[in-house]
Chain A
Amino acid sequence: MIYRMLRLCSFLFLGLMLTTCIIPFTLNELRGVEATLVIEGDIILQGDTKVYLSLSRSLDGEDVICYVTDAMVWIEGESGDQYAGLLIVEANTPPYFIIDSKALDVSKQYKLCILHNGKQFESDFLSPLKSPEIYSIDYQINDTRTTVEFFVTSYGEENASRYYKWAFREDWEITSKYATNFFFDPISNRILQYTADPHIFYCWNQSESTSIIIAKTDHLDNNTVYRQQLNIINCTSDRISHLYSMELYQMSISKEAYDYWSVLKKNTDEIGGIFSPQPCEMSGNIRCLSDANTKVLGYISAGTITSKRVFISEKDIGIYISFDCPFFNESDFNQPLEPAIPLTNREKFDMGYAVVRVELVDPIEWVPLSCVDCRIRGNKNKPPFWPNDHL
């Protein structure tokens, strides 16, 4: 909270001086930094533990995440019991190791172990923490009706952990701006009428939380997380154009874990202002047993996860501002060339336009493809839990 305030200070300066500026900057000395192993994956009781291994890269490196698959991952209990991980490589998702950790005992301590490149890495022994149920997820529209903000409220037990971490998965349904019965067929070079539903009106999109959401209640009378902010959605976002759903996962974490994540968050979000804290190196709770000088990044927690899903439709929020889809007829397509050379339908198709209306009297009207085919903006992966029968 304090640091947030301080960040505001720097914004005040931005406004105050009108000359304060932030300009892109690159330091040449930073080239070819050695890659460090990054370990992510909390030990989940009553569920599956997913462990992602990757390597860090230098700042000027290529914008790809280098995942590690040639490793062994397992959970080890205090009594020496081991739970081996299985590498899962699927299309469109990063490779991960999955460990069946349903049988772990909440009263025992566990650690995560990794063997990679002949070096063994281990987390500290962790006592699993039980997460309380999520009480509610609600939202609030701001005064200017430009954003909607989502919040979580939870009531923890008095003697339970007072530190929380959340992550969420979003799914949302979108629709095309217009429904159309016609399409340009490039093979026959003609405009045809659909004979069956092309299923291009309803689509879906998915996303996961990208920011670090943590909270603590150690300074409060009771262990209540009241309306912790989760995300802010802009009124022009597709997410709130039709039907939005969020599944929130909540985990109780230790104070050390909270401190780690809050530094990580600070280093990501709150650096560079006039009164910002100085950024800093961090050490997680994972060590390299084979070589003390080998760095490793990451922090492992252990515990149960509670989750809650909500659906909110556009009608409830009511602030969505749709994008523009202007109609184009023959005259609109006329190039600024003299004499005007009318475009062929094929040319319009190649330029990314689609037929929206064909009437006997009027000329054919076109719109950008994204206005009639929702697959441009989304996909047809309808979630199985979706509460309507749209196809």
Chain B
Amino acid sequence: MSTAALHAPRRRKPWREWLASYLFLLPALGFFLLFVVYPMGKGIYISFFDYSLSDFDYVGLDNYRNLLRDDVFFKSMRNTLLLVLVTVPAVIAFSLFVAMSIYKMRAFGRSFFRAVFYLPAVSSVVSITVVWASIYHPNYGLLNYVTGLFGAEPVAWLGDTRTALLSIIAVLVTTSVGQPIILYVASLGNIPASYIEAAQIDRATPWVIFRKIIWPMLMPTNLYIIVITTINTFQCFAIIQLLTSGGPMYSTSTVMYGVYEQAFKLGHFGVASAMGVMLAIVIGIISFIQFKYFGSDVEY
């Protein structure tokens, strides 16, 4: 954080500066309060009601109580956490691999690969999912065709509890690595070459160089990537809706998908809001841990 702002000259009356600051903030804050904070409050309010189609009855904590007794909700919560726990490290590992391989390439190669890995992130997720649905198809899917060439039995990738979530994660990872790669390439480029050269003179192995020099210098980038990837993963919706609709046996159902199903498919807005509130609490806890654990040396 820039310390200069704190030492800003105080010659003028501070309230003028304050007023100007608030006015600059006003539009953003206004939109934020109206379209984020207020709905958030209203969501909490609705979660205490049986709000479905024409009904609007106060039910206290019933929605929460029912959720805590609902296996499907727990399964969805578990899937949501699993999705984050697998996707985030996978994204980091994959982007770091790509970034390490390309950051010392010539400009053209670098831009080319960066662009290739960014493609799925910028193009419409609906388009991507359409293709993946046909790749994963149990009967005429490309994936089964290719594995079949090697003599493997066909697999119902999205229709088997053992593979469905992994298949979703694979798609999610392809749509999530674009930005991390760009960030890592830049961070790696910022590591002074002299550090690495010095280590090489000392005959450090590449692994040691990575562990002791590169990785520590990447920590701020890591935090940023972890945060954006976690958010992105929690928001994963279209992929699940279009590929599995949460199945089979709820093995790909996430809380996010549950919110959608309860609210918009079944019209149970109260229950959906309660799910949303519980998800927000979980996300809050996770973000807190992430900042505490990875963010000790990064200040926002």
Asked whether A and B interact, the reply is no
Q: Which residues of A contact B (CB under 8 A)?
A: none
